[in-house]
Structures are given as C-alpha cells and as structure tokens.
Amino acid sequence: MQLSTAPRAASDGRAIRNPYTGETVGWVADCTVADVERALVTAGSYDRSLSGEQRARLLARLADALERDKQRFRALITDEAGMCVKDAAVEVERSIGNLRLAAAEAQRLDGEALRYSKGGVDKLALTLHEPAGVIAVITPFNRPLNQVVVKVAPAVAANNAVVLKPSEKAPLSALAFAELFHAAGFPREMLTVVTGDPRLIGDTLIASPLVDIVSFTGSVRTGESVAQRTGMKKLLLELGGNDPLFVLEDADLALAAKLAADGALATAGQACRAVKRIIVMDAVADAFAHALVDAVARKRWGNPYDPDTDVGPLIDEAAAVEVERRCNSAVDEGASLLHGGRRDGALLAPIVLDHVDPRSALVAEETFGPVAPIVRAGSLDEAIAIANGTPYGLQAGVVTRDATAFLRIARELHVGGVALLDGPNFDSPFIPFGGVKKSGLGREGVRFAMREMSVLKTVVLPWGSMLASTSSPPG
C-alpha cells in the first residue's frame, strides 16, 4: 500500500517501512521550517464561522466516511506500525466512536450561569467556552489513527484549527485521515498535516507565537523538553505510564491472569495504559504465576497480517532490543524467566517474569513491549508503596472482592484513574483520561478535551435591576 505527499525531490522525503517485513509502504515529505510556518498561518486564518450544528454534521459525515473506508485504514495501520490486524480493527472502531461522540458534543459545549450580589446589586455571570485558536498536535506511533482522532476531533468540535505532526515512524494513517477530513467538507484551514524530522518540526511548532495550545503525546523525556520550551502556551501532555494491576489475596486468579495477559500484550505492549507491573500478594503469587503463564502461552505471536496473531512486532528492531535488554537485566537482578523471551528482529515472544525487583529498570521505568512482570508484595501497605514508587501516575487496575481494600487503594494511589475488576488499560471516550506526576497534564476524553481546548470567558450583567427596567411599561 503506497501513500505519498509528493516530496519536492528524493532528498526532501523519507520512506516509511513495515516493521515486520522491512518493505517500504509509503513515502512522505520532509517539511521545512517554511512549510510549518505556512501551515500555521493557514490555521490562523480560520474565521471560526462554523456553527456547532455545522461542526456536528461534518464530524458525523467524517465518521460515516471512516466507517465506509475502514478496511483500508486497518490495512494501513498494520502496514506502517506492524499492529496485528485484530488490534488495527479495534483502533479504527475506537476512532469512529470518538468522531461520533465529538459530533454529539459539538453542540453541547456549555458553560454555567452563576448568580451573586455585589454592593446590593444582583448580578448574573455567564461562563462561555470559546475556541482557543490554533492547536499544535504531536502524536506517537503506537496509535497512528486513534491518537490523531482523540486530539483532532475534540479540537474541531470546539471550533479550533489544528496543525498536526504525526509520528515520523507511522504518519500514513494521519495523512489518509486528513484526506477524509477535507473530503467531508471541513474548511481547509481547520487541519494541516506536516511530516518529517520530529525535532525540526516539533521545535518550530512549540516555539511559534501563532500556536495557542500544544497537545503532545509521547515520552516523558520529550514531554519535559516540550514543557521547557513552550513558554506561556497552554500544554496538554500525555506522557505515558507504568501502570500496575493489583492482584489481592481473594482475587479471582483466572480473571486476574486474563486481565494481565491481555493488558500486557495487546499492541505488543506498546500502549501508555498497558499493564506494566503486576503487583501480586505473596499468598497467591505462586498460583497466579502458573495461571499467567498459561494465559500468555495461549497468545500467538508473529505475522501481524494473520488474523489469529495476538502479538506482532514492535515498531522497529531497536525497540525490541531495548526491551530484551531490560528483561535480561531484570533476570541478572534476581527475576525468574517463566515464559518467552526469544527475539527475531522486531518480533519479541511474549515474556513472563516473576520475582521482579521493583527497583529494576524494567518496572521502575516505562517499558514498551510484550512483557508481563510479576512484582511480589507481602502486604497491602507494601503493594501501594511499590505502585506509588515511580515518577508515573496514569491508571491502575485492581482484582479483589474486598471493597474496603479497593477503596483504600483508590484513595492512596497517586494516579489519574483506578478500576475495580479491570486492568489499567480501561478506556472510554465518555470518561476523562490522563495522569498525574510525570504522566502528564490535562485530560483526554471528548467532552473533557473540548474544555481543555477552549478558553473560558465570563460575561457579567446586572440581573434584578435589568429585569425591572425591561419589564416596566413605557411612561
């Protein structure tokens, strides 16, 4: 499958290669600083003329177009990111759902009416959500379509213009989405895509005085760099996580093992909210480890184009080598390898490790790969301390029947979200998503992102006296 943005010359573009086959599947331009500046000027020229009803209609039309074209997008995601076809299908369906919800919310960006008195005069304050203006959006490789939609859909629903820089490793879905976006009837100024060198383009976007908000998803290191250089712009940062799944003494171990295997291995573990640490109470750790190995052993890994494959390649061989290195280091530090570990290029067989030291880089940092590491804890106090003992704070899952224990975990964890009888990978476009500490700033989820991407204006008027003057008959 080929997609090209027609670079000026061979030296002005880059090939996009399939992580599984190594074949070139597309070609995109390397934009220059001047290209990015023109894109920003174009975005700034959007006159905000679309009403909420019009934006809702166009977003619904875009969702319908993606629904009709979903087979092409599924194939494109697998081509450029190596995502298994079953995961790519989920990615497209999530994108369609986000667009439909954004269409519904485009007419519901409401404020509040607040009554108060000052100096004996009754006042009415109206809060209004107005478009922020131009939003610079920078997205990662691991969700090449849905992460674009998660940001673009609420931005345009709130009547903003977007300049989008997709990952240089997987930009093809974003470009194809932009084609659908404009074909649906949106003004050209509302979305521009710039591709190429991430440092050059990213630095130009975040430094530009024409940008009102920077919305970035990526690594903590890059996010911290963005934050240092953005200045007074509003920042929305989703910087990943080191998400725990708690397995307490009374847990349904079959359920816990399924949640752990599914959560650690989906999209080859390349997800910010994937299960990154499985914190298991000592009393059930041996039995859980056996159940987890059985669950992971049932996962098929290999060719992402095979509909029965559960775990495909990582984004490139370098990423697989780094995950392999961290696993080997964890074993050197005392962990036990219970399953997997064989690597073939960018493919890494799903790995189960037990007795992992919570200080090991494998679990102290965010590891993007198909690894299910068990960290044992002797008490609930220790389990909570382990979970809180990293700079991350995105989401967590808990498997227990003990409501008191769950509520304590929910209260004491420094995270953005906690789920009972579910993994930390729980999500819905209807609910807020985001973290604390180094996991980021702001919240995603259509309704919440629309407010993040708006400016709150307050309009105050006299209330009681105005009513009296307007209701009095002429003298």
What are the residue numbers of the active site? Answer: 238, 272
Q: Which 8-state DSSP code applies to residue 358?
A: T
Q: Do the beta carbons of residue 197 and residue 30 sit within 8 Å?
A: yes
Residue 233 to residue 163: CA distance in whole angstroms? 15
Residue 202: phi and psi, rounded to 5, are -60, -45
Taking the CA atoms of 335, 337, 343 and 348 in sequence, report the sign of the dihedral they define. Answer: negative
For the chain, give the number of residues.
475
Residue 36 to residue 202: CA distance in whole angstroms? 9
| Residue appearing with tokens 């890494």 | 348
Residue 314 to residue 323: CA distance in whole angstroms? 10
Q: With the CA atoms of 298, 91, 175 and 208 taken in that order, what torsion angle do they form, in degrees rounded to the nearest 10?
A: -110
H or E stretch including 231? none
β-pair type (343-344, 347-348):
antiparallel
Helices (H) and strands (E) in the chain, counts: 16, 20
Residue 341 to residue 326: CA distance in whole angstroms? 11
Residue 384 to residue 377: CA distance in whole angstroms? 9
Of the candidates 60, 8, 46, 3, the one whose C-alpha atom is nearest the C-alpha of residue 26 is 3
The token duo for 174 is: 């974003």
The token duo for 11 is: 């030296």
H or E stretch including 95? helix 85-105
Residue 73 to residue 65: CA distance in whole angstroms? 11
The token duo for 288 is: 């859980």
